[in-house]
Chains A and B, each alone.
Chain A
Amino acid sequence: MTTHATTEPEAVEPTSALASAPTVTARAERRWSSYVEALALPAVTVVIAAFFSLWPETSDYFLTSANLTVLLGSQTVVAVIALGALVPLIAGQWDLSVGAVAALAAVLTAQALADGVALALALALGIGAGVLIGVVNAFITTRVGVNAVITTLGMATILDGVINQRTGGIAVFGDIPLAVVEFGTGTFLGLPRTVYAVAVVALLVYYLLDHTPYGRYLYALGVNPSAAALVGIRVRLVLSVSFVLAGALAATGGLLQLARAGGADPNVGAGFALPALAAAFLSAASIRPGRYNVGGTLVAILFLAVLNNGLNLAGTPPYTSSYVNGAALILGVALAAWLGRRNSSA
């Protein structure tokens, strides 16, 4: 049978695009609902904060500057580590080694300082260790082909061994330069100085994700790796860089911890991994719903911090925070998944 055209290419109306122009009301409605989605979690955080400020059980302490300083300062380390975990997470890769990297960086730098190494060199050593571990993680996942969860879980375990071997399980204190401790514990304009460090890191990561092609490539990879390769994205390179960035940022978090505590405790690092990853996951629940993002990460950390701090002040038993954090993580990610599904299929 021969050509039997049911449609003719000539039939295309060049003006048909006009028919698809959205109506003004539809656009306005969509915008309104998207603001609600984006700002729901920050709003809830504010409501909770207001509640603890007014609730007689906590109102005496919650809104004091001492408490707020502790509240914000205590979250700066986990915030920087979470921003590190966020980068590979966007590309669909979980980096479970961020906590161990932070601990290792803190220990290495603390020991170097104790050995009399110059401050700049000691800091560079800590960050360099994070970068190196990122490179190893990248090599194993992108070249050897081991799943990132496995790679970084194994790496975290190995690093735990390294840390304990180097410290004998004992915290490294002493000989930390005063400038470092002052940075870690001092305030500037009423806020802990480490909060400004978080702001700088957050701005850098935000710039990377939203204002460079690299950020686009990360998101594209996270959504559809096969299609990403077919638009010319160098998948292995982009993933490798994300692991290196995660290592560098996690190490930075470790150095912040060193400054705050005035020493390095070998048992602290591992504890950062899960809260940091949880915050990175929860980031998709706000600011840019359905997408892992910087603003959402900070909101998630503040939300959990305010909630835990208030409950703590109210004298709830310590295990309450486990219930709260676990439930918040599951509910938040469920919400983000729902928003993502709703926004990507009509």
Chain B
Amino acid sequence: MTVLAVRGLTKHFAGVPALRGVDLDVEEGSVHALLGGNGCGKSTLIKALAGVGPGDDGEIAVAGQLHAAPAMTPRHAREAGLRFVHQQLSIFPDLSVAENLAIGHGWEAGRTGRIHWRSQNRRARDLLDRFGVPVYPRQLAGASSVATQTMICIARAMQDLEQAGVLVLDEPTSSFPPAQVDQLLAFVREFVGHGHSVVYVTHRLDEVVRVADRATIMRDGLVDVHVERDELTHDRLSRAIIGPAVRSAGTSVSARREPPAGPASVVVDGLAGGPVVGASFALRPGEIVGLAGLLGSGRSSLLKLLFGALPATAGTVEIDGRPFRPAGPGAAMRAGVAYIPEDRQADAAFASLSVGENLSLATSGEYFRRGRIRHRAEAAAARRLVGDYHVKTTSTRAAMGTLSGGNQQKVVLARWLRRDPRLLLLDEPSQGVDVGARAEIWHLVRHAVDQGATALVATSDLDELATFCDRALVIRSGRIADEVAPADMSEHTLQSRAFGIDQEAS
């Protein structure tokens, strides 16, 4: 029996179609995998189901109840028994498991508002038993593994459902070590055994093969292929996702360069600090090098070490043959290092300062001549940068916070690239950036690298990494454990290398 049916769902963003008439049927008590490359419309489809970004046209039927897609609201989705657990877990690590569960539901409180901890914990115990989550109610949620935390989130999402529901898991395992993937997959199978249904969104084909009853592959806002259980093989899925292979190979080759000849400009030897225990590698001018690794592998920390934002405990760095001790951001900047942090709002943008001020903060000394800041020259330079970097803003005097995420990122990029850095460190450069700006940002990085700089880019989006980087370093447990040569650059290779699986049979 079909528990969730989508018919002819469409959605446009500023006239650009994101969904072009999607049909989907999810059978009751089954795991239905939803697959596709980045920008294929998976996330848009999920948002339309959740009612947070309703579709333009089409119908959604849940448990026999029909909704017009544009009228879908989060409340409708909830009442119909649709539940969502996202990649970024909404766990409060410093609260107990019981408290985490109560936050989505309500507290067992007396008339005076006092919480009855005993019944609260008993309720949590029952819930955890019902779903088979291996934790104690009083335990701190942050102390359990990511797999268990995901299970807690699932239990929390499903706790107030009387009937069987549909759970959408959005890339649940993206930051999991392999052993925990097994735990979660077993949990999901058990879960559907109780009559619930699961829509399982993932990039990982091996998980689909192991857990799914059926798979739907999306591409360019359309459902491309349905694959039934008996056809679910790694090979079948990868062919379906890659699609007409020649076309995508064409784009990637044009974006990527052969490694430039010549000596290395950046040599790092045994760099350690924080979770990084000893990173050694060399980078040549003119290349964009990706840094692939799982969450917690030391990916972001390595960039911070190179910029001096995290103190190094050991190791040496050489830039253009000169030894450089990353003692702090100031020293790193003088050595020609630029760093664009992952969290733009917290670590890069000055929201209430103007675009012009944001552009010049890493260059302030330059316009300070004869005891004054040359405001006119500075403003002229800011206007030129806004033009050169395609920043969409009403003026350079507009506050940074009024710009979109992509445009803010371009301002941050311009702030650093105007310094002509030798080594450009980027951490998740296209996070929170729309697709158009993402391409522009990569284009700007490529342009800087063509002028002789070197870029080291850490990103969790391996598809993006495979598309835009020339080669990749793989960081595992704080060490550069592997390297992916230009010819091998693919999301799949990067993924398996990041996990330390040498080569999968495919």
Considering only residues 70-125 of chain A, those with a C-beta below 8 Å from chain B are none
Interface string of A310-346 (1 = CB under 8 A from B): 0000000000000000000000000000001001111
Stretch at the interface among A10-18, A145-153, A173-181, A239-247: A10-18
In the complex, the answer to whether B353 meets A3 with C-beta atoms within 8 Å is no
The answer to whether A213 touches B364, judged by C-beta atoms less than 8 angstroms apart, is: yes
Tell me the bound Cα distance from A223 to B386 in angstroms: 22
Q: Mostly helix, strand, loop or mixed at chain B's interface?
A: helix
Taken together as a complex, chains A and B put the C-alpha atoms of A156 and B364 apart, in Å, by 35
User: What 0/1 readout, one digit per residue, does chain A (262-293) give for beta carbons within 8 Å of chain B?
Assistant: 00000000000000000000000000001100
Tally of chain B residues near chain A (CB < 8 A): 74
B436 to chain A, nearest CB (A): 7
Interface residue from B39, B393, B402 paired with A6 (Cβ < 8 Å): B39
Closest to B249 in A: A3
User: Is B347 a contact partner of A230 (Cβ separation < 8 A)?
Assistant: yes
B44 to chain A, nearest CB (A): 13
Cβ contact within 8 Å between B467 and A213: no
Interface residues of A in 1-55 (CB under 8 A from B): 1-12, 16-17, 19-20, 22, 26-27, 30
* Segment with Cβ contacts to A, from B21-29, B117-125, B250-258, B259-267: B250-258
Q: Is A226 an interface residue (CB 8 A)?
A: yes
Distance to closest chain A CB from B21 (angstroms):
19
**Which residues of chain B (75-102) have a CB below 8 Å from chain A?**
none
Q: Which of B350, B388, B436, B438 makes the CB contact (< 8 A) with A227?
A: B350
Decide yes or no whether A189 CB sits under 8 A from chain B. Answer: no
Instruction: Decide if B364 touches A216 in the complex (CB within 8 Å).
Output: yes
Q: Which residues of B contact A223 (CB under 8 A)?
A: 350-353
A219 lies within 8 A of chain B by Cβ: yes
Are B205 and A1 touching (Cβ within 8 A)?
Answer: yes
Q: Which of B39, B238, B439 has a CB less than 8 Å from the CB of A12?
A: B439
Indicate whether A217 reaches chain B with its CB closer than 8 angstroms: yes
B241 located at the interface, meaning its Cβ lies under 8 Å from any Cβ of chain A in the complex:
yes
Report yes or no: A224 in contact with B350, Cβ–Cβ below 8 A: yes
Among the interface residues A19, A213, A231, which one has the most CB atoms of the partner chain B within 10 A?
A: A231
CB-based contact A3/B466 at 8 Å: yes
What residues on B are CB-neighbors of A219 within 8 Å? 353, 357
Nearest-CB residue, chain A, relative to B346: A226
Q: Closest residue of chain A to B256, judged by CB?
A: A3
Q: Does A172 contact B (CB under 8 A)?
A: no
Given contacts A9-B442, A232-B329, is CB(A20)–CB(B391) below 8 Å?
yes
Residue in A7, A9, A344 whose beta carbon sits within 8 Å of that of B401 in the complex: A344
Kindly name the residue among B242, B352, B401, B491 whose own CB sees the greatest number of chain A CB atoms within 10 A: B352
**Which residues of B453-496 are within 8 A (CB) of A?**
463, 466-468, 489-492
CA distance A19 to B394 in the complex (A): 11
Known contacts A226-B346, A231-B361, A344-B352, A4 near B242 by CB under 8 Å? yes
Interface residue from B341, B351, B402, B436 paired with A7 (Cβ < 8 Å):
B436
- A binding-site residues for B, Cβ under 8 Å: 1-12, 16-17, 19-20, 22, 26-27, 30, 210-213, 216-217, 219-220, 223-224, 226-234, 290-291, 340, 343-346
Contacts A3-B251, A9-B446 known; 20 new A-B pairs at CB < 8 A: A1-B37, A1-B242, A3-B248, A4-B37, A4-B38, A4-B463, A9-B443, A11-B439, A20-B390, A20-B391, A20-B393, A26-B394, A216-B364, A217-B364, A223-B352, A228-B350, A230-B339, A345-B351, A345-B399, A346-B403
